[in-house]
Amino acid sequence: LPVVVIAGRPNVGKSTLFNRLVGRRQALVADTPGVTRDRKEAEAQLRGRTVRLVDTAGLEEAAPDTLYGRMRASSESAVAQADLVLFCIDARAGITPADSHFAVWLRRQGRPVLLIANKSEGRQGAAAAMEAYALGLGTPLAISAEHGEGLSDLMGEIADRLPPEAEAAPSGDEAGDVEGEEDERPAGPLRLAIVGRPNAGKSTLLNRLLGEERMITGPEPGLTRDSVTVMLHDAQGPIQLVDTAGLRRKARIDDASLEKMSVSASIEALKMAEVVVLTLDATLGVHEQDLQIARLIEREGRCCVLALNKWDAVEDRIATRQAISDRIETSLAQMRGIPVVSFSALTGAGVQKLLPVVRRAHDVWNRRVPTGALNRWFETMLERHSPPLVGGRRLKLRYMTQAKARPPTFILFGTRAELLPEDYQRYLVNGLRETFDLPGTPIRLLLRGTR
Ligand code: GDP
């Protein structure tokens, strides 16, 4: 089995994370460092793979008495065997000297590392997560093990980094592939979710895509359906419909609760997905609920394809398309250029356009902009509009780099860069979108002040 080791200084939440990933309360957790723990290993199921999960917290108390000694001794043998190390920091505490010390040591071990900013519930984790870039262990992933936030992302990131099946537990030293680890586009099927309001035609669409009547559809909201996960195939390979919870319905509930359910079901589904098809009943236009779901997609950093269903029943197609596009562009400025596909799930007309558009959106979401081209572009942007004055002094913006893809995430370095006003950020993000052809995907811009 692939070995995944949870490491980090005491009290950053290693055992809580361990319990979360194992799915049972296997280790004892407490709020004081160094509590005795009876277990340190368990098997865990992560995205269909079984891994051996090791919690180094369980080894701590046997170790020498200094903090560094404890961290080192508890982790050394575990890390040596690891296919992946989950290095945890406490986002509320920020980066401590012990974290930095441990990071330096960990980099020398040459095992793949995923950096985790734990205790990032709510907004407060963002700053420490940024700070964590300085550890040189790649892009930090913000989670809250205790509150269960970011875990689906985490499982995906872990699964993406595991050695291919049947090749686990590598022999010999495959040296320090630490940096750039997050760049890699995972193998395996594209993960797709179909979401939308009740009666938008999601089930009908799914049946169309599957080419068989696997699910029941009907005009009356109130049919009970089970969630299903299914595989589709197109010319480019498999596509997994990750979670069709949005297609589930409870019998006999009123319309308002049904609407609410469609949003919460969408959240579940889109967290599992890479690409999200937001399905609308085009005869009804864009609803506030649709925008709400789209904003969730943006917030979760997924890419979105807008599907205008029931196109057969639309009378003035040109006007409808225009009205919907206008509404989307004005209400969802953060996701300009969302690809739009119109079809009739009922008759099948136009449905064949959907998957190619999904594939293209997925490519955009995975895109990497070369650093040279990025900075040549950045310089022209600075020339065209000088960075603003803040507190009477002009901000000095120095350079940019793309930290990761999925979604495209850029870091902007400069003196007091963290003070860059929103409108200048928007100017840069819109410029990135146009110049590097990144329609429809969320784009993240992180600001990093330098001295
Ligand atoms: P879901 O709640 O989003 O899964 O929606 P369903 O797939 O159950 O569809 C709701 C209703 O809309 C059903 O009566 C479908 O037959 C109908 N419907 C779905 N797609 C289309 C379409 O493309 N055109 C028309 N005219 N009706 C459709």
Which pLDDT tens digit goes with each residue over 202-222? 888 988 888 755 555 544 443
At residue 167, the pLDDT reads 39
At residue 175, the pLDDT reads 35
Ligand 1 atom with minimal separation from the 221 CA: 2
Decide whether any atom of ligand 1 lies within 6 Å of the 309 Cβ: yes
At residue 251, the pLDDT reads 38
Tell me which H or E stretch contains 19: helix 14-22
At residue 173, the pLDDT reads 36
pTM above 0.80, yes or no: no
Peptide bond preceding 2 in cis form (omega within 30 of 0): no
At residue 209, the pLDDT reads 87
Decide whether any atom of ligand 1 lies within 6 Å of the 204 Cβ: yes
At residue 339, the pLDDT reads 93
Atom 6 of ligand 1, nearest CA residue: 201
Atom 26 of ligand 1, nearest CA residue: 310
At residue 125, the pLDDT reads 65
Residue 289 three-state SS? helix
Residue 105 three-state SS? helix
At residue 323, the pLDDT reads 95
DSSP letter string, 361-417: HHHHHT----HHHHHHHHHHHHHHSPPPEETTEE-EEEEEEEEETTTTEEEEEEETG
DSSP state of 164: P
Decide whether any atom of ligand 1 lies within 6 Å of the 209 Cβ: no
Q: How far apart are CA 190 and CA 56, in angstroms?
A: 34
ipTM of the complex: 0.94
Per-position pLDDT tens, the chain of length 451? 888 999 988 889 998 998 888 875 444 444 444 443 444 778 888 877 888 888 887 555 544 556 666 566 667 777 877 899 999 999 888 888 888 888 888 888 878 899 999 998 866 666 767 778 888 888 889 899 988 888 888 988 898 888 776 533 333 333 333 333 344 566 678 989 998 888 899 888 988 888 755 555 544 443 334 444 677 888 888 888 865 544 444 334 455 655 565 666 667 677 778 999 999 999 999 999 899 889 989 988 999 999 999 999 999 999 999 999 999 988 987 778 899 999 999 999 999 999 999 999 999 999 999 988 999 999 999 999 999 998 888 899 999 999 889 999 999 998 888 899 999 999 999 999 999 999 889 999 999 887 6
Dihedral pair phi/psi, residue 435, rounded to 5° = -70, -40
| Helices 422-435, 371-384: inter-axial angle, 10-degree rounding | 130
Where do the structural domains in the chain lie, given as residue ranges? 3-183, 190-365, 371-450
244 annotated ligand-binding residue: yes
At residue 347, the pLDDT reads 95
What is the 205 CA–ligand 1 centroid distance (Å)? 8
423 annotated ligand-binding residue: no
3-183 and 190-365: same fold?
yes
Decide whether any atom of ligand 1 lies within 6 Å of the 277 Cβ: no
At residue 24, the pLDDT reads 56
The CATH class for the domain spanning 3-183 reads alpha beta
At residue 261, the pLDDT reads 58
Q: What CATH architecture applies to the domain 190-365?
A: 3-Layer(aba) Sandwich (3.40)
The CATH class for the domain spanning 371-450 reads alpha beta
CA atoms within 13 A on the CB side of 108: 7
Atom 9 of ligand 1, nearest CA residue: 201
At residue 120, the pLDDT reads 86
Decide whether any atom of ligand 1 lies within 6 Å of the 202 Cβ: yes
Percentages helix, strand, coil for the chain (3-state, rounded to 5) are 40, 20, 40
Decide whether any atom of ligand 1 lies within 6 Å of the 312 Cβ: yes
At residue 45, the pLDDT reads 81
Please give the structure tokens belonging to residue 388: 């603003």
Please give the structure tokens belonging to residue 415: 């003196």
